[in-house]
Structure 1
């Protein structure tokens, strides 16, 4: 068993989760050491916050583009006004109390089932799961480890293709006690981990009485670290992507650390490669100073890696293959309806630690993709295509619309507050106008082969996007994670999980969009593109939630009475139900309870009324969420990861003395 230091971790994560999920990112110096400017002063000529949002909402509704937004929920329906004391439709449930049970605890009056768990068969010929006899060949046919994003694509009446990301592996938890030596893993154990990464495509059907079940299908598919990907877009063939195994720079083996994602309007899935940095070794042995600086900005591993993969394939050894890390950190696209298709890495969307990628169609038909870089003090991005979207999900429409992601303009966000700097004091106290709010602009980084950043070629902007955004003066954020457009009101919502380094000595201080020092509980950002047009380069914003214990002075719940909300900490993924209510899953709750899934209306007198719908088992993280009018789907990641094989803290979902297994569950009223 690997001995892990007991230092303070981001949020409420265990040391084990920090080590294997993100390479102890929170224990190391944040890689963004740029000194780009901040804006805390009053912006002159800014629209009032209420006027800006009201005008944007009217224009967005007039544009009528919301039906083009695909997602995991049912077709959007008009938002319904709430009456005081009456729950908004979609949030009519009794909140679940905070707890630390080793169970999936759901709102009263609801039932649950496990749809699929780690090791369950996905493709034909998959053997029955046996952790004591596991092989790489078996794992490549079975459901992967640590499920994160879940997307559903309709495939008939009460039938969907479910796409699930497998973010990372925790080898010390995957093998029976005493069979895995973290300092000397076997080659087979390493190859099992390669096969446990990637994505799964599984057909699911609605069961009689509610809930989903996985079924055998010709569409079922596993994508792993051995699956070939096509590199497309302006950086395809770049000298920075070429390796000894791929002289073309256009073919990459595998995808890893796929965190969240999104279902496109044309019926494919975009998935973000996030914490890829931790898998590589020996970046400190690279002698070229320019290459070394680029590796450092992406926090590529020095010395020996945690998993020791470099012992079995030189591509994980940066000293031997300095370009291999550049082949990860992209948005990837898969086509679940074509199980023989080659997945794609889209370079036009930039390279960083993508939490997700979600699509909105602009008023003129161009495709807009939003993505956050999940790192302390990193940035929010969007891409606007050059070409226009063609409605439909046929194979022809899928090919056309996928190609739109290969040419367009990549932007990074710059935020400005509308309150005097003196009113943003780092305590979380609201400014005099009663909200954290302001305006912002999208700064163009590159378009096609043209760079807008001094000293960077377009090729360098796409491959080393973080450094280009530093130079452009983007706003440093508190770990921007999932970002999604609301299909009902047209606004964009982003989860900013936490940043305990905010305001620390030598680190960036507070600004109105990141208003708390030592921000351990995170916040939720809402913005409206000018005129409701996703292609606009201007926007107005406000914070919907400043998370934490409602009893403390540094929290805010959209103006809703704080004594009536559920405590919420460390927002991670966001989703929407058919009514346009926001649903938030958490990762790393600091308030002494298991992580969970929460609903929150974004309009009317119930705006900001946070209610906890479920909690996940002990040591687990809430991921994935899909919220429809009939059921909720949630991915339970790393249950019991705060224990050890010899002293387990979870036996979910099978109970008894069984090995804890990440799994996808469905919940329905009944």
Structure 2
């Protein structure tokens, strides 16, 4: 069921990347040696140069942190002290002893002041456009004083089988059901407040809620950047190619130093029909993005209410999705902006940091088997307080794709998970430029083509094929960049290499990048694998060298985040160990490096999204996506009753220590 509704059964299709780009094991070692760069195990020495954690995310400073800033960052050993939650199959949000959880917002909760109360059996598109959307994913919080803030939440996709009684296919759905699904996509801005000085937060329900807002698949938007107004983005409804409508399948994201949201469109291919009927010149690009051909029964059939989703009639409409969208949560009248300079792909992440010289850097993953890791570096520098200047920074810059090299002989990477003789899966890498403004670095492709068909451009420059690159986040203490690589069961024994040391990689791993001189603007880096997921009793797993008898089992890392002490928090999606998905925390430096512990588990059938730890480390937010999403489940026979004891409702929850202590500590 999850495969059908979230990604259009992507894993049942052929791998989209048929390029002959080499795998790690095929690449000749680059000139930059890992031996000449800091090893991941010594990242504690890199604390200098990163500071300033705000509720909206971590923003590195350009110099050493001052003493008060260092205190705020919590440059401690990052010790974790809680009893791990054991693996389980309970229909509940399980948290450690001494902790409490509560729902902050659930599907259907009123967002705007004029929204009606939710009624499962009397839904309408008009009501849904004012209510909290379905399947929450990325979560971030913007401060409004010590006890209030604006919560942004992505609504990735809809599961009509669980939303409507008697639903079978998009072809048989009522038009109102299709319109409800369109309105349930997108995102929500909701004002929340702290409860009586604790770590709990709740929706602000009184007053006019001036900031509260729903963004949907039908919200007017605009394109910005080099590809705006280009031919591939023009349609009959928008001949200028500048005003797209709506956003779809927004998975992870990030925030900017100037206080806006970056939300990333991911599996956009499944929403269209008749991809095989576009002009012949477009067919190679359609297949590279796995756009739906024909009208399969699993399709939601949005084209029945909005013709633009039929590519036989509007062949460019699919090109208007797959972007990073910037939204101002503090201006409910602002128009969301699709930033074309960041490229078009199945975006999973869009997390920002600053280079040493003040340029803005955005890290992005492309969440499919054998796809790539990207970053964007702005042309101009961030100027604190200069909002007019900063709002244009993501329109000019250079888009890069990553190429990785292992540093051990191929004979030492045998697929067993045994470490090579140098004691680590590691190596070096480089960021290969794809496009900068109107200049293309890719032979045979214009700058516009690189931005609209970014996957094809990355194929051509020999980027490295990865195992479903998902969320990417920079550690606010060490400066290391961490990438969740969820899994790839299609990797064969002949394709294992130092960065992908297991065939049929069903549990995934976490990649750590240390950029040269600890500068996000650099073009070279070192990498290592601090975490290779699975059952700790499996010799093919690795927990940064920590004693595996003391760690929690983990499978399928998806989203990552950091607390102020620089501990890595991991949310999982698709646990292959027989337990519910969960959230985990792991120190990445010091004697506890690799000591991974499970902090919570989500209910039956759910995926763990978020996570987001507040800067005071008194609260951790978790998005519980698709509870009860198990094959055969229906509203008349639900597989989960979380959170309210009746129909399952995707929700954002908050967890806090009952005695006010820091979460995890």
Alignment of 1:352-371 (within 5 A): 352-371=345-364
- Aligned partner of 2:637 in structure 1 is 647
Deviation at 1:312, TM superposition (A): 1.9
Alignment of 1:472-487 (within 5 A): 472-487=461-476
- Aligned partner of 1:272 in structure 2 is 264
Deviation at 1:99, TM superposition (A): 0.3
Alignment of 1:384-403 (within 5 A): 384-392=377-385, 396-397=386-387, 399-403=388-392
CA distance in 2, matches of 1:308, 1:48: 50
Q: Is the 8 A contact 1:56 1:528 kept in 2?
A: no
CA distance in 1, matches of 2:510, 2:40: 19
Runs of 4+ in 1 over 3 A off after TM superposition: 44-51, 53-62, 68-76, 179-183
CA distance in 1, matches of 2:486, 2:444: 32
Q: Is the 8 A contact 1:483 1:495 kept in 2?
A: yes
C-alpha distance 274-652 of structure 1, shift in aligned 2 (>3 A): same
One of 437, 448, 453 as aligned partner of 1:448:
437
C-alpha distance 124-532 of structure 1, shift in aligned 2 (>3 A): same
1:541-565 C-alpha deviation (Å, 9 max, x unpaired): 1001000000001100001011110
Alignment of 1:408-423 (within 5 A): 408-423=397-412
Alignment of 1:207-286 (within 5 A): 207-208=195-196, 209-216=198-205, 217-286=209-278
Structure 1's unaligned 5+ residue stretches are 1-15, 82-87
Deviation at 1:308, TM superposition (A): 1.4
CA distance in 2, matches of 1:57, 1:365: 22
Deviation at 1:509, TM superposition (A): 1.0
1:437-471 C-alpha deviation (Å, 9 max, x unpaired): 00000000000000000000000000000000000
Deviation at 1:646, TM superposition (A): 3.1
Alignment of 1:187-206 (within 5 A): 187-206=175-194
- Aligned partner of 2:51 in structure 1 is 66
- Aligned partner of 2:105 in structure 1 is 116
CA distance in 1, matches of 2:580, 2:36: 36
Please state if 1:155 is matched with 2:147. no
One of 568, 575, 597 as aligned partner of 2:583:
597
Deviation at 1:282, TM superposition (A): 0.7
Please state if 1:430 is matched with 2:426. no
C-alpha distance 57-435 of structure 1, shift in aligned 2 (>3 A): closer
CA distance in 2, matches of 1:434, 1:278: 43
One of 121, 132, 141 as aligned partner of 1:132:
121
Moved more, 39-48 or 508-517: 39-48
CA distance in 2, matches of 1:545, 1:248: 47
TM-score (normalised: structure 2): 0.93
Q: Is the 8 A contact 1:384 1:535 kept in 2?
A: yes
SS of match in other structure, 1:52? coil
1:172-198 C-alpha deviation (Å, 9 max, x unpaired): 1101x3366543111111110010000
Q: How many residues align?
A: 636
Please state if 1:38 is matched with 2:27. no
CA distance in 1, matches of 2:97, 2:483: 29
- Aligned partner of 1:8 in structure 2 is none
One of 293, 313, 323 as aligned partner of 2:284:
293
Q: Is the 8 A contact 2:260 2:327 kept in 1?
A: yes
Alignment of 1:322-361 (within 5 A): 322-361=315-354
SS of match in other structure, 1:66? coil
One of 458, 464, 467 as aligned partner of 1:469:
458
CA distance in 2, matches of 1:599, 1:591: 18
Q: Is the 8 A contact 1:153 1:263 kept in 2?
A: no
Deviation at 1:49, TM superposition (A): 4.8
- Aligned partner of 1:84 in structure 2 is none
CA distance in 2, matches of 1:350, 1:56: 34
Q: Is the 8 A contact 1:42 1:418 kept in 2?
A: no
Deviation at 1:42, TM superposition (A): 6.9
1:364-420 C-alpha deviation (Å, 9 max, x unpaired): 01000000000000000000000000124xxx52x4222100000000000000000
Q: Is the 8 A contact 2:222 2:338 kept in 1?
A: yes
Deviation at 1:92, TM superposition (A): 1.4
CA distance in 1, matches of 2:87, 2:576: 12
- Aligned partner of 1:3 in structure 2 is none
Deviation at 1:296, TM superposition (A): 0.2
Q: Is the 8 A contact 1:60 1:532 kept in 2?
A: yes
CA distance in 1, matches of 2:30, 2:254: 37
CA distance in 2, matches of 1:68, 1:349: 24
Q: Is the 8 A contact 2:46 2:477 kept in 1?
A: no
- Aligned partner of 1:307 in structure 2 is 300
CA distance in 2, matches of 1:593, 1:513: 27
SS of match in other structure, 1:428? coil
- Aligned partner of 1:318 in structure 2 is 311
CA distance in 2, matches of 1:663, 1:38: 39
1:537-590 C-alpha deviation (Å, 9 max, x unpaired): 000010010000000011000010111100000000000011000000000000
CA distance in 2, matches of 1:284, 1:47: 46
Deviation at 1:490, TM superposition (A): 0.6
SS of match in other structure, 1:326? helix
Please state if 1:23 is matched with 2:15. no
Superposed CA RMSD in Å reads 1.8
Q: Is the 8 A contact 1:56 1:530 kept in 2?
A: no
CA distance in 1, matches of 2:168, 2:108: 18
Alignment of 1:503-652 (within 5 A): 503=492, 509-628=495-614, 629-642=617-630, 643-652=633-642
CA distance in 2, matches of 1:465, 1:51: 30
C-alpha distance 493-50 of structure 1, shift in aligned 2 (>3 A): farther
SS of match in other structure, 2:178? helix
CA distance in 1, matches of 2:30, 2:354: 31
CA distance in 2, matches of 1:318, 1:183: 17
1:239-298 C-alpha deviation (Å, 9 max, x unpaired): 00000110111101000100011121111110110000000111112241x300100000
